């Protein structure tokens, strides 16, 4: 079932390919183009994997932030720059997507992913083909995302995973609360710290909803939509490089965009020290203020090194609850 016009898909894939060599990363050349077939008036956005601007003056391109590279993967970067709805958006990408991008696209509500056929012959798939099959494609399948291979020369769009479903599983593990008179981010954090503890990773923000109403938003670490604990136990959990759950800080950044919410307080409350990767993603989403409820690292033992580095360079503002 065609989900968008073939000529458009070919055009947007070409837009992604046209920028792929402009990337700063010397080894990994990946680009993506986000568009929404029901919002043709919103320009498609093509971008390479890119570093947040705030990191550029401070580090060489290949310096690590804790356990993470500085680069926002092209799929997420394109969605973050895209001006249309994330829910129902489509993404063209030059290479098979990694499990982290699969998680982010599922959380964003992406409906279809198109992969350039040349991407299947390149480096990533040789190194990470197993993760693509066992994790990325499973996440796409469970989230109701269709996946296609695009051959620009032949002008074809061929289904790899054609999902007819018209409904998609909703993202779960978020809660809204009313911001009571006199409530501050600190006092809200204290309330939820007392209620939830800090053994589990969760994040909290004060947001303005699309209709203008202020709201407290609580976001938990969660499995991608449709992924069950059984999947988590039995598939793809032993590679070490990728994990199924989505970090709550990354989720919060994607969810606020998907739902058209803006931050009322620039700070994000975090129950635990976020992982290196979610810190880099947060910077890419314009989040640079954190309030920590505990100094316990989330699943990433290098999270502390990452946050210390970013704090020392004054790239990230971090305060801890007393
Ligand atoms: Zn990726």
Distance 76 CA to ligand 1 centre (A): 8
Q: Dump pLDDT digits (tens) for 277-321.
A: 999 999 999 999 999 999 999 889 999 999 999 999 999 999 999
For residue 231, the model assigns a pLDDT of 86
User: Does the pLDDT value for residue 33 go beyond 70?
Assistant: yes
Query: Reading across the β-sheet that carries 146-151, which strands appear in turn?
Result: 45-48, 31-35, 90-93, 112-116, 146-151, 156-161
User: What is the pLDDT, as a whole number, of residue 128?
Assistant: 65
User: Using one digit for the tens of pLDDT, what is the confidence trace for 225-272?
Assistant: 989 888 888 876 555 678 899 999 999 999 999 999 999 999 999 999
Ligand 1 centroid, distance to 215 Cα (angstroms): 31
Going from the Cα of 130 to the center of ligand 1, the distance in angstroms, rounded, reads 14
Kindly give the distance from the C-alpha atom of residue 4 to the centroid of ligand 1, in angstroms, as a whole number: 23
Least confident of 50-54, 57-61, 218-222, 224-228: 224-228
Q: Separation of 73 CA from ligand 1 center, angstroms?
A: 5
Distance 182 CA to ligand 1 centre (A): 41
Alpha-carbon distance of 151 to 294, in angstroms, equals 50
Cβ-contact 252, 205 below 8 angstroms: yes
- Asked if residue 69 lies in contact with residue 283, where contact means CB atoms within 8 angstroms, the answer is no
Among 53-62, 202-211, 229-238, 303-312, the range scoring the smallest mean pLDDT is 229-238
254 C-alpha to center of ligand 1: Å? Answer: 15
State residue 235's pLDDT score. 76
**How far, in Å, from the CA of 180 to the mean position of ligand 1?**
39
245: CA distance to ligand 1 center in Å?
A: 15
**37-48: pLDDT as tens digits:** 999 999 999 999
Give the Å distance between the CA of 159 and the centre of ligand 1.
21
* Predicted local confidence at residue 236, as pLDDT: 60
Q: What percent of the chain has pLDDT over 70?
A: 95
Residue by residue, DSSP assigns 114-170 as: EEEGGGGGSHHHHHHHHHIIIIIHHHHHHTT-EEEEEETTTTEEEEEE----S--PP
Domains of the chain: residue spans and CATH: 6-161 (3.40.140.10), 174-220+247-320 (3.40.140)
- Which whole number is the average pLDDT over 71-90? 96
Question: Which one has a higher pLDDT value, 26 or 87?
Answer: 87
137 CA from centroid of ligand 1 (Å): 13
CA 107 to centroid of ligand 1, rounded, Å: 14
Average per-residue pLDDT in the chain? 93
The span from the CA of 183 to the CA of 185, in Å, is 7
Query: How far, in Å, is the centroid of ligand 1 from the Cα of 41?
Result: 27
CA of 193 relative to ligand 1 center, distance in Å: 32
Q: What does the pLDDT read at residue 233?
A: 83
pLDDT for 128-178, tens place per residue?
678 888 899 999 999 999 999 999 999 999 999 998 766 777 778 999 999
Tokens 């938990």 -> residue: 220
CA–centroid distance, 192 to ligand 1, in Å, is 32
For residue 99, report the distance from its CA to the centre of ligand 1, in Å: 7
What mean pLDDT do residues 206-226 have?
A: 95
């Amino acid at each position: 079932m065609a989900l968008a016009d073939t000529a458009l898909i070919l055009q947007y894939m070409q837009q992604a390919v046209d920028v792929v060599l402009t990337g700063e990363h010397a080894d990994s050349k990946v680009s993506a183009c986000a568009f929404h077939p029901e919002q043709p008036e919103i320009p498609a956005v093509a971008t390479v994997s890119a570093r947040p601007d705030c990191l550029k003056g401070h580090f060489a391109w290949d310096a690590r932030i804790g356990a993470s590279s500085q680069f926002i993967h092209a799929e997420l970067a394109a969605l973050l720059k895209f001006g249309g709805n994330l829910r129902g958006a489509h993404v063209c990408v030059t290479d098979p997507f990694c499990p982290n991008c699969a998680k982010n696209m599922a959380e964003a509500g992406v409906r279809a992913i198109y992969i350039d056929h040349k991407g299947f012959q390149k480096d990533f798939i040789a190194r990470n083909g197993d993760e693509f099959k066992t994790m990325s494609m499973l996440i796409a399948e469970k989230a109701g995302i269709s996946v296609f291979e695009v051959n620009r020369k032949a002008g074809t769009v061929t289904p790899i995973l054609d999902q007819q479903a018209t409904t998609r599983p909703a993202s779960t593990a978020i809660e809204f609360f009313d911001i009571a008179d006199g409530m501050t981010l600190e006092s809200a954090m204290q309330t939820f710290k007392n209620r939830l503890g800090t053994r589990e990773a969760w994040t909290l923000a004060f947001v303005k909803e699309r209709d203008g109403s202020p709201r407290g938003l609580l976001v938990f670490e969660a499995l991608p939509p449709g992924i069950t604990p059984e999947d988590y136990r039995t598939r793809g959990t032993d590679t070490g490089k990728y994990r199924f759950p989505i970090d709550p800080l990354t989720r919060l950044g994607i969810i606020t965009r998907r739902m058209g919410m803006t931050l009322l307080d620039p700070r994000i409350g975090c129950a635990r020290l976020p992982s290196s990767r979610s810190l880099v993603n947060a910077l890419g989403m314009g989040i640079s203020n954190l309030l920590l409820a505990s100094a316990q690292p989330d699943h990433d033992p290098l999270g502390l090194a990452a946050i210390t580095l970013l704090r020392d360079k004054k790239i990230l503002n971090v305060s801890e609850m007393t």
